Amino acid sequence: MNIRTREGAAKENEDFNYLDQHVAFDHNQNVRYIDVGISDDGLSENIESFMVELYQPIGGSIGGPASANIFIIDDDNDETEFPNTYYSFAKTSIDVLESMGHVDVEIIRNNYLLRATSVVVTTEGIEATGSDYTSVSSRTIQFAPGVSSYTLNIPIIDDSVQEPLERFRVQLSQPSTGSFVDGDEAIVNIYDDDSTILFDADSYDVSEEDEILMLQVLRTGSIDGTASVDFVTSYVTNSSSPDDFVSVSRTLSFSAGQENIRVDVQIRNDEIAEEDEVFMVKLFNPVNGVLGDPYSADVLIIDDDSSDGSGGGDDSSFTTLSIVAIVAGFIAAIAVLASIATACWICTRAVGRSKATFPVVERRAPRATYRGYRGPRGYNVYH
């Protein structure tokens, strides 16, 4: 890369020697020192400055500051006026996870760095309170000559309570003589990254004939470590009883990286026609995590028994059977009507024929000859 000087209050070849040269790095070399000549003119002058800058990198890129100010302090004048020093924050908005335990706030001092200066730092909560971070009250930060930055470490309290975004501000004030604040405030945003444990739904339905309710307990957020939560079922007054399901009370333990646990609750199929029933499932006492929403849920047990004990079904089955019965009845009615119509047709034809003339033939039986004896039972026998 190349390096060159640029004039400021200090003039080229009067106060310093002009420089514009190529700088090469050997293999594994990471530092080069460049000399810039300063002219000692014997004149009484105020502090003067010029700039050096880097440009045209080859085989790499320029990282960090590409330029720097050089101040020439006149040691011939006992009343030299020093340039001002300015303070600011490296970032005016800083994000931090609650689990990190601290946040680093960098304070920058720029322009003139050749003397010792100081500035006061104070924190003030916005949503965050003293239970979320360790506050700083009027702490004086000292900068030694040549020091351009100071990192303030503020502890963050990981309280394992599920919380929304919380913020506090860091402020600079009361700079020492010859220094000023340029950007006096930075906002720190604390994000809650606790492991959150919750049900996968806020209500469940189960048919009595299914006999098992399967539900999921989820873990979101930070799941790198282990966590646990207690699970329990409970009756709802006038809506459920011990005869409806098998009570469960147990601790659910999450291993590192585990996101969910399945819980089964046995439903009692009593084969008794009754109203639908409700009980509750609850999560409580989380360890290494916080409860999310929903942490409780209602369970509706749908009764599938009919009042006559023959076994019922759900509404859709009942509707299907009803339709089939209606269609069958309709077909039977059509068959009856068809039979009646056929009978009427036959009767009509018979009536029509009764009005016609049919030939009547009288046949006389031959006269029998009586033999003069009777049959076995006293009847006359004819031949």
Domain match, 266 and 215 both: yes
Q: Is residue 308 part of a domain?
A: no
**Res 306: pLDDT:** 55
Q: Domain boundary residue among 302, 318, 341?
A: 302
pLDDT given at position 316: 47
Residues 35 and 128 in one domain: no
In a domain, 346, yes or no: no
Would 307 be classed as within a structural domain? no
Q: Indicate if 236 and 272 belong to the same structural domain.
A: yes
pLDDT value, residue 227: 87
The predicted structure's pLDDT at residue 134:
95
Residue 35 has which token pair?
């000399």
Q: 204 and 260, same structural domain?
A: yes
Q: Is residue 126 located within the same domain as residue 48?
A: no
pLDDT at 192: 78
Long-range contacts of 252-255 (CB under 8 A, 24+ apart): 252/217, 252/228, 253/226, 253/227, 253/228, 254/195, 254/197, 254/219, 254/223, 254/226, 254/227, 254/228, 254/289, 255/226
Q: Identify whether residues 138 and 43 lie together within a single domain.
A: no
In a domain? residue 253: yes
Same domain, 213 and 161: no
For 3-36, write each residue's pLDDT tens digit: 999 999 889 988 889 999 999 988 888 888 888 9
Q: Does 343 map to a domain?
A: no
- Residue 43 identity: L
Residue 202 forms part of a structural domain: yes
Reported pTM: 0.44
**Pairwise CA distance, residues 223 & 257, whole Å:** 5
Same domain, yes or no: 229 and 138? no
Q: What is the pLDDT of residue 215?
A: 93
Residues 143 and 77 in one domain: no
Q: Residue 267 is part of which domain span?
A: 196-302
Final residue of a domain: which of 43, 60, 81? 81
In a domain, 204, yes or no: yes
In a domain, 291, yes or no: yes
Tell me: the pLDDT tens digits for 31-53?
888 889 888 877 777 778 899 99
Indicate whether 258 and 295 sit together in one domain: yes
Same domain, yes or no: 95 and 162:
yes
144 alpha carbon, distance to own chain's centre: 48
Out of 191, 226, 241, a domain closes at 191
Structurally, the chain folds into a number of domains equal to 3
The DSSP symbol for 212 reads: E
Which positions of the chain have pLDDT values less than 70? 75-82, 162, 237-240, 305-325, 327-328, 336, 341-383
Query: CA Rg, the chain, in Å?
Result: 52
**For the domain that residue 270 is a member of, what is the CATH number?**
2.60.40.2030
pLDDT of the residue at 46:
75
Instruction: State the amino acid at position 1 in one-letter form.
Output: M
H or E element that contains 112: none
Phi, psi (degrees; rounded to nearest 5) at 52: -120, 145
Do 158 and 227 fall into the same domain? no
Query: What are the b/e assignments for 178-208, b being 16+ CB within 10 Å?
Result: ebebbebebebbbebebbbbbbeeeebebbb
**What letter would DSSP give residue 121?**
E
